[in-house]
A = this chain, B = another copy of it.
């Protein structure tokens, strides 16, 4: 008999998880979203029922996955009825103990950036898991292994550091791409000019220790170029302040004078 899962949330992570779980043979019985139209987008993809009221949740499912924005988790927990299965969240920086209201609880944290519209090979996504007792630990472990080839146990503090490192290596990196795009656009230049450079930067960082791959004016302590660049960026802008702070950080890091 197929194990039953209720998905609470219908955003980027919930969507990718639902599809991966469905493909792995799980039965997604309900998809909840406060905005029913979001639930109705996702539910048909995995033959689930869309709901927008937490009291309508089936209490006999095996697993409840809370995959909403961090700031909405507390309200969801408060409004959820008592359930018999294991309740997990998918957040990097929320303690498992937040779910203590439920006798069986845990965490299933997929360590990847998700965009709803973009397909993705879920088996390659590292999944970090935790459970409060052996029953929940085993269920979360099995479910994670059914959808990913890279499952690891991680407690809350380890998970938080991983989350922070992902903010640096993914969210912040993407923002730097957006700022570069913004600079080029103002000059009528295409972002695609940067493609060979971006590919090479990524490949280098993955093939050697990033600190050893560092190049550019700040690494060399070339103040003339740096000042020249900062003059071109107007002072008081984020471009300018980010240029100054990251350059200083690179310089200190290279010289081992890092705080």
Contact = CB atoms under 8 A, between A and B. Distances in A.
Contacts of A177: 168-169, 173, 205, 210
A220 B11 CA distance: 12
B93 A229 contact: yes
Nearest to A74: B224
Interface centre among A173, A196, A216 (most CB of B within 10 A): A173
B111 A196 contact: yes
A225 interface: yes
Given A93-B225, A204-B113, A222-B69, A246 B175 contact: yes
Given A168-B183, A232-B160, A249 B175 contact: yes
Interface in A182-226: 182-184, 186-187, 189, 191, 193-202, 204-211, 213-220, 222, 224-225
Q: How many copies does the complex hold?
A: 2
B170 A120 contact: no
Interface string A150-173: 100000001011111111111111
Interface string A79-102: 000000000000001000000000
A180 interface: yes
B215 A171 contact: yes
Interface stretch (A20-28, A55-63, A139-147, A235-243): A235-243
20 contacts: A93-B225, A93-B228, A111-B193, A111-B196, A115-B215, A160-B228, A160-B232, A162-B193, A169-B198, A170-B201, A173-B177, A174-B201, A174-B205, A174-B213, A175-B246, A178-B209, A198-B202, A238-B245, A241-B245, A245-B245
